[in-house]
């Protein structure tokens, strides 16, 4: 997967953050800020709100380094989950504040939650596409964005037609999980940025 870090790096980074090493936060920011900002922007569709969410995510990580559990998966996935949760919360608040000044009806709450679900699904799909191996991503891009069939994609990728079909099938299976699974490891508890 793209930008994947070894588990040992993840554990060392968590330990450095727990010791309060500011350089560790800077390194983590350099590695993951573009992921955090792009996922935030995908959910919020607002540059300023995405910037604020990015700051909130790294503040949460700095204040809660032990919230990450290496046994549950890579730090990249955890950070994506934290991002998705904070961005979704910001989106919910925005819709409540922009809505009518009357108490929220169940219908209004459902409309807000539907918008949050749609934005979260789109962000998860983006995360999956950017995280999948480049061979799968290239096959999907050729067929869906450049409108190539699997035979043309196979020629352009320099692989057999069976391999092109296999890559497309696997890429689509990964992408379909965007609607069936939530983002991993959301933040919870006190100290969570609002």
Per-residue pLDDT tens, the chain, 194 aa: give them.
Answer: 445 567 899 999 999 999 999 999 999 999 999 989 988 998 898 999 999 999 999 999 999 999 999 888 889 889 988 998 999 899 888 887 876 655 567 777 787 788 787 877 777 777 777 778 888 889 988 887 788 998 999 999 999 999 999 998 998 888 887 766 554 444 444 344 43
pLDDT number for residue 98: 76
Tell me the H-state helices in 99-131.
106-131
d(CA 90, CA 167): 36
Contacts of 86 (CB under 8 A, 6+ apart): 40, 53, 56, 57, 60, 187, 193
Among residues 69, 130, 157, which one has the least CA distance to residue 165? 157
Evaluated on CA atoms 161, 167, 169, 171, the torsion sign reads negative
pLDDT number for residue 181: 52
Angle (nearest 5°) at CA 174 between 173 and 179: 90
pLDDT number for residue 20: 94
Is-contact 153 164, C-beta < 8 A? Answer: yes
pLDDT number for residue 58: 96
């Amino acid at each position: 997967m793209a930008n994947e870090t070894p588990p040992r790096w993840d554990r060392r980074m968590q330990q450095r953050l727990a010791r309060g090493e500011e350089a560790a936060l800077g390194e983590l920011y350099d590695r993951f800020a573009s992921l955090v900002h792009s996922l935030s922007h995908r959910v919020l569709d607002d540059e300023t709100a995405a910037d604020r969410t990015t700051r909130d995510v790294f503040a949460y990580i700095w204040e809660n380094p032990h919230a990450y559990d290496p046994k549950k998966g890579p730090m990249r996935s955890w950070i994506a989950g934290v991002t998705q949760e904070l961005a979704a919360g910001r989106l919910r608040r925005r819709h409540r504040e922009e809505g009518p000044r009357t108490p929220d009806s169940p219908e209004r709450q459902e409309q807000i939650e539907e918008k949050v679900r749609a934005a979260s699904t789109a962000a998860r799909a983006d995360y999956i596409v950017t995280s999948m191996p480049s061979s799968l991503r290239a096959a999907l891009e050729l067929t869906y964005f450049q409108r190539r069939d699997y035979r043309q994609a196979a020629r352009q990728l320099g692989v057999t037609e069976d391999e092109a079909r296999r890559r497309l099938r696997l890429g689509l299976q990964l992408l379909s999980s965007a609607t069936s699974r939530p983002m991993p490891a959301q933040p919870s508890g006190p100290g969570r940025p609002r």
